[in-house]
Structure 1
Amino acid sequence: MGFTFKAFHISDEGLGMPVSTDGVLLGAWAPLDGAQKVLDLGAGSGLLSLMAAQRSNAQICAIEIDSAAARVCRDNFAASPWADRLKVIEADATRANALAGEVFTHILCNPPYFETGPLSAKPGRAQARHTGSLGFDALCTLLARHLSPGGSASLILPIESEPSFMRALTDCPLGVTQRVEVSTVEGKAPRRLLYALGHHKEGTPHCDTLAIRDTNGEYTARMRTLTQDFYLKL
């Protein structure tokens, strides 16, 4: 099982963590210009790390709490063209010594966001999808702790999670610098939000919109431009 991009193959080996549009969007959109040291927070099978490796010359650290996912992530890294710039830490990122106080110029996170609803029967999948494993307060604390003063963090959330996330940001030194509303089809209400965060608490974020498909079901020109360096066929 897996998914093949132009430059690498992602295997999930039964983890129940297939390549998602959310992950591809975040990995293609994240503002990585000038990134030297990247953290992939809750890496899963390593998709975001591999996309960051393709888009930059940064050293990339992936941290993953689930043992099975961490093993698959290592295998995916080893099979990629950028194995020398990728490493995996199997640990709970919320533990104070997990990253030994390291700071990063960019942090990527496709965080768990299902605050209610049934848990998956697969423990790793449940951890990856529900905020019980990494709530927004803990996430914001981690981002603030490990983001360098001039760095940025990127994440994607369902639009209904925005109030909870913004409440968590209230007591955090980080602020939103970019906000993109993502709709599945042009003219439809947005379903996802792409955020960039930085050490800029005040000021108005740059706001934008993105539609994945047009009303004929084809990928929009913007979506094609954003992701064309990854997909074999789009």
Structure 2
Amino acid sequence: MPRNAHFRFKQFTVRQDQCAMKVCTDACVLGAWADVGDADRILDIGAGTGLLSLMVAQRNSYAMIDAVEIDAEAFYQAGENVERSPFHDRITLFHSAVQEFVSDHQYDVIITNPPFFQSDLLSPIDKKNIAHHSKSLDFEEILVAIGRLLKPEGKVNMLFPVEEGVRFAEKAGQAGWKLVRKTTLFHQEDKKAFRVLLLFQRVEFAHNVQVDSDLYIYEKDGVTHDRRFKELLKTFYLKF
């Protein structure tokens, strides 16, 4: 298997040759950063390779995790990744658009790296359009799905490019959600921010003070990993 066809973590391996979206650092940060403590049921919207579900399962040793994926090839590959992992008995995959996904229960936590770059030009590759753009799931539909599937006191963890995150937070606020935690992700200190990680709760349940922080992947030399980044990913990355 070619090296870029899989990504090995300490407790599981993610095969990705059938998926448009490969394992990327920002998604790994989301999986390690997300607030998933004390959750009995977790929903992963847009499972892709299954990366986030697997990371969450490693961090929360008892939660049952449902993962929804619209793309057939990604769905089957995620299934293979889950089945080969130590967490296969707690992760259930559904081949569905989240707009059509029906569950018998609501979730304590939702985690999602949703379609983004709503204002960018579309790629000629349809799979990448689905993964990168709002072609199949726009902000309003995400908010409707979250509102329907999340428990009233539940939490939703999300990853966006910076400008998209600002726009989504505005729409979420208008829909009754409060941003309770935010981390801005940089490659290194002298570079422009490229992602934001956002945690929302419904306004009436959001009692914690919002915490804004910055996270750098590398130190100023662009080679040495930042201490806080290493601390966040040390239970997942082999090199840490």
Task: Give the shorter-chain TM-score range.
Answer: over 0.9
The gaps in structure 1 that reach 5 residues or longer are none
Q: Is the 8 A contact 2:6 2:17 kept in 1?
A: yes
Aligned partner (choices 28, 44, 66) of residue 24 of structure 1: 28
Deviations 1:122-151 (A, max 9, x none): 432220110121111111121122111222
Q: How does 1:68-217 map to 2 (within 5 A)?
A: 68-95=73-100, 98-100=101-103, 102-200=105-203, 205-217=210-222
> Identity across aligned pairs (percent)?
31
For residue 157 of structure 1, report the CA deviation from its aligned partner.
Answer: 0.8
For residue 101 of structure 1, report the CA deviation from its aligned partner.
Answer: 5.7
The gaps in structure 2 that reach 5 residues or longer are none
Match of 1:225 in 2: 231
Q: Quote the Cα distance in structure 2 between the aligned partners of 1:176 and 1:142.
A: 17
Q: Is the 8 A contact 2:20 2:131 kept in 1?
A: no
Q: How does 1:61-72 map to 2 (within 5 A)?
A: 61-72=66-77
3-state secondary structure, aligned to 1:112: coil
Match of 1:38 in 2: 42
**Partner letter of residue 210 of structure 1?**
L
TM (normalized to structure 1)?
A: 0.93
Runs of 4+ in structure 1 over 4 Å off: 201-204
Say how many residue pairs are matched: 232
Deviations 1:49-88 (A, max 9, x none): 0000100021000001111111111111100001100110
Q: Quote the Cα distance in structure 1 between the aligned partners of 2:195 and 2:19.
A: 24
Q: Quote the Cα distance in structure 2 between the aligned partners of 1:53 and 1:121.
A: 35
3-state secondary structure, aligned to 2:187: strand
Q: Is the 8 A contact 1:176 1:195 kept in 2?
A: yes
TM (normalized to structure 2)?
A: 0.91
Q: Quote the Cα distance in structure 2 between the aligned partners of 1:101 and 1:136.
A: 24
**Partner letter of residue 50 of structure 1?**
L
